[in-house]
Amino acid sequence: MLGFWSGTPAVLAQTEATDRLIEDVVAQQAEEGGAFTYNAAFSLLDAYRNRPLNLNRATAEELGALYLLSPPQIDRLIDHRDRVGGFLSIYELQAVEGLDLETIRQLLPYVTMEKGLDDVSVPLRTLFSAGTREAYLRGTTRLETARGYRAPDPAYAGDPLRLYAKYRQRYGDQLSLGVVMEKDPGEALFADGRPVDYYSAHLFLRRLNRRVRAVALGDFTVSFGQGLILYTGFGFGKSSYSTSVARRSSTLQPYASVNEFNFMRGAGVTLALGDKLEATVFASRRRRTANPTRDSLGVTSLSLSGYHRTAGERADRNALTQSSYGGSLRYRPLRRLEVAVNVLGEHLSRPLQPTPRPYNRYYFRGAELLNASVDYRYRLRNFSFFGEVAGSPGQQSGRAMLHGVNIGLDPRADVALVYRKYDRDYRALSARPFGETSGGRNEEGIYVGVDLRPAARWRINAYYDLWRHDWLRYLVDAPSSGREARLRVGYTIKRKLDSYAELRHENKGRGLAGERTDPVVPRTRTQLRLHAGYHLTPALEWRSRLDLGRTADRNDGVQAGVMLFQDLHYRPTGPFSFSARLAGYRTDGYDVRFYEYENGLTYNAFVLPYYGEGMRGYLLLRYKGLRGLTVEARIARSQRFDGGTFGSGQEATGLSHRTEGGTQLIYRW
């Protein structure tokens, strides 16, 4: 299952900063109407706990994969390392401009200055025999029976259980070997000769020798440049991490998630062709769920839900085969400069033929698509320039470009500037660049973000984004524009208090339903958030949050809402821990909704929209009393007070409450 309701990976011993990152990114992508998955992005931190990343060898991409440092901090760290000839002690991090003590504290569990832990000479046999292993077995369900499961003629083929199993073996970031299996609610076990609906397996090796830098077999992700033609890894959008806008990911990464479409299946390799040249090539072939046309010769769309519950959904399963191939040639003539040429080819076994609508007039149609791009990165003193330009050679289509710069104005002040222009007729099936909307088309905008640290305990993040769409969009029947501003002021006392106040305001065009051709009218949305996390004891943390919101447009008038939650998180050194929440909310509708992070079973945390009128609470219990074994249980319940019920269509229950429960076993050795 995908979407902003779906489970998403989270790090063990989750920090408040990582919670906010998950919350920000999921909420932004949910607003865009896109699906979201973390691709186990944060699980790499677990590997670095056991085998820390050597800061004297780490590349910018490896530092970026930690998601603990902003691009200006990464640039300053590398510049300092190059200038002094390497770090001798972790205490030297305090001499790096722009690295505050709180960031250093978050970084320390995952890094080292020592040599040998990630040395290229580690034998292949050691990679497989040493390292860490982990196995997961999870089951979750909703206790109320939805319409699709009801006798005598249920629409769904299976029961409401979601089942998940995973095995993964790691040696730092040099080896990743894993298998993942999942059954979504409503899907049948042992259907079509398959025990469960979804499988994923991978073998990923890094730094095998001085020439072979990465090898990917099975399922993996590929990320080029700023995502104008291909980006299947984790990427920042607009968030409170206001200067973290540049995409900075290794080209090849292992894949161990349950997202059923956002990955490659095949093989890839990255080779060093000398000290300054690096080449990556890959090939992928995977079957996709798609909606066939009436004559079955083509497909109208590629399904992103991952569900195969009903007869119709099962009929669309594997209706199309997508073959992807390409590569990247990266050249580093100078230590501060790198340029890459990227190529991606796509072949569909059936042509893509979207049902003609005014808004999709310029969408890709056909079975063959070729994209190419050039991306760059250049550091000059306190300036770090980045960007990408992309198009489709030999095809009559538009272009896309993104150019940006991170500026270190002062050790306490960073600025990010981004300009993007994606033509209405730019076509790419796997583009995921920075922007207001997904897909990398029909958008032009400019973004300014600042990160200020005026005093030891204070931090100010803000951004302003201005954009326009020159063509129609889904449910918006005319060109439109918008602007968004966000300000967050945070105050932190080490190991005691983490608090912030945030104001967010957005104004953008919206179509009005019910008319033959909908006019576009401006809709304004303003939200205020007050948040505090306070450690009552070293093991017990209390969190409190108040959200206030207001939305106004010509069609629905003014809508308002409020949400308040209280959390307790108990994480002692002993075997037993828990997290709990009680939340109350009242809004005039879905347009006034508040996205809230919820602690879940490991690698199954949630970000949910709270709207309507009701209460919600959850309790998560975790026990680690047996060597290597973790046992978890979670129950959550929502209750509506506005007369509404949960679910619609086959997911409707007709009830004003919803209860979810789940358990998980984790064994590490």
Share of the chain above pLDDT 90, in %: 60
223 and 367 fall within a common domain: yes
62 and 136 fall within a common domain: no
41 and 84 fall within a common domain: no
Q: Does residue 565 carry a pLDDT above 60?
A: yes
Q: Residues 371-385: pLDDT tens digits? A: 999 999 999 888 999
The pLDDT assigned to 21 comes to 66
The pLDDT assigned to 556 comes to 83
146 and 87 fall within a common domain: no
Mean pLDDT of the chain: 88
Q: Residues 459-511: pLDDT tens digits? A: 999 999 999 999 999 889 899 999 999 999 999 988 899 999 999 999 998 87
Of 66, 87, 112, the last residue of a domain is 112
What average pLDDT score do residues 417-435 get? Answer: 95
Higher-pLDDT residue of 294, 18: 294
Whether residue 7 lies inside any domain: the answer is: no
Sequence-distant (≥ 6) Cβ neighbours of residue 95 within 8 angstroms:
80
Of 64, 96, 112, the last residue of a domain is 112
The pLDDT assigned to 575 comes to 94
Q: 511 forms bridges with which residues in the sheet? A: 520
Of 112, 130, 153, the last residue of a domain is 112
Q: Does residue 124 carry a pLDDT above 80?
A: yes
Higher-pLDDT residue of 625, 504: 504
Unique residue bearing structure tokens 């007869």:
311
- The DSSP line for 413-482 is EEEEEEEEEE-TT---TB---SSSSSSS-SEEEEEEEEEEEEETTEEEEEEEEEEEESS-BTTB-S-EEE
103 and 177 fall within a common domain: no
The pLDDT assigned to 397 comes to 85
The pLDDT assigned to 49 comes to 76
The pLDDT assigned to 2 comes to 31
71 and 166 fall within a common domain: no
163 and 287 fall within a common domain: yes
Whether residue 45 lies inside any domain: the answer is: yes
Whether residue 11 lies inside any domain: the answer is: no
285 and 152 fall within a common domain: yes
655 three-state secondary structure: coil
If pLDDT is split at 50, 70 and 90, which confidence band does 35 have?
very low
Are 619 and 578 within 8 A, CB to CB? yes
Amino acid present at 630: T
Higher-pLDDT residue of 603, 278: 278
CA max distance for the chain: 74
Higher-pLDDT residue of 83, 116: 83
Whether residue 542 lies inside any domain: the answer is: yes
If pLDDT is split at 50, 70 and 90, which confidence band does 74 have?
confident
Question: 67: phi > 0 → left, psi -120 to 50 → alpha, else beta; which?
Answer: left
Q: Does residue 67 carry a pLDDT above 90?
A: no
Sequence-distant (≥ 6) Cβ neighbours of residue 126 within 8 angstroms:
171
Q: Residues 156-198: pLDDT tens digits? A: 999 999 999 999 999 888 899 999 999 999 999 887 777 888 9
Q: Does residue 11 carry a pLDDT above 50?
A: no
629 and 511 fall within a common domain: yes
Whether residue 4 lies inside any domain: the answer is: no
The pLDDT assigned to 75 comes to 84
Q: Residues 196-218: pLDDT tens digits? A: 889 999 999 998 888 999 999 99
Whether residue 1 lies inside any domain: the answer is: no
Whether residue 3 lies inside any domain: the answer is: no
Are 346 and 368 within 8 A, CB to CB? yes
Amino acid present at 34: G
Question: What dihedral do alpha carbons 574, 43, 452, 72 form, nearest 10°?
Answer: 140
Instruction: State the pTM of this model.
Output: 0.89
Q: Does residue 95 carry a pLDDT above 80?
A: yes
Higher-pLDDT residue of 342, 129: 342
Q: Does residue 50 carry a pLDDT above 80?
A: no
- Residue 80 sits in a domain of what CATH number? 1.10.150
Sequence-distant (≥ 6) Cβ neighbours of residue 340 within 8 angstroms:
224, 225, 328, 329, 330, 331, 374, 375, 376
The pLDDT assigned to 516 comes to 63
Whether residue 550 lies inside any domain: the answer is: yes
Q: Checking DSSP bridges between strand 53-54 and strand 111-112, what pairing results, if any?
A: parallel
Instruction: Residue 77: give the domain boundaries.
Output: 53-112
The pLDDT assigned to 195 comes to 82
Q: Does residue 63 carry a pLDDT above 90?
A: no
Residue 651 DSSP code = G
The pLDDT assigned to 352 comes to 95
Give the integer Cα–Cα distance in Å for 489 and 475. 35
The pLDDT assigned to 515 comes to 53
74 and 130 fall within a common domain: no
What average pLDDT score do residues 437-449 get? Answer: 94
Q: Does residue 7 carry a pLDDT above 80?
A: no
The pLDDT assigned to 5 comes to 31
Q: Does residue 12 carry a pLDDT above 50?
A: no
Higher-pLDDT residue of 243, 16: 243
Backbone angles phi, psi at 363, to 5 degrees: -70, 160
- Residue 152 sits in a domain of what CATH number? 2.40.170
487 and 561 fall within a common domain: yes
Query: Domains in the chain: how many in total?
Result: 2
Amino acid present at 565: F
CA atoms within 13 A on the CB side of 226: 31
305 and 174 fall within a common domain: yes
The pLDDT assigned to 42 comes to 62
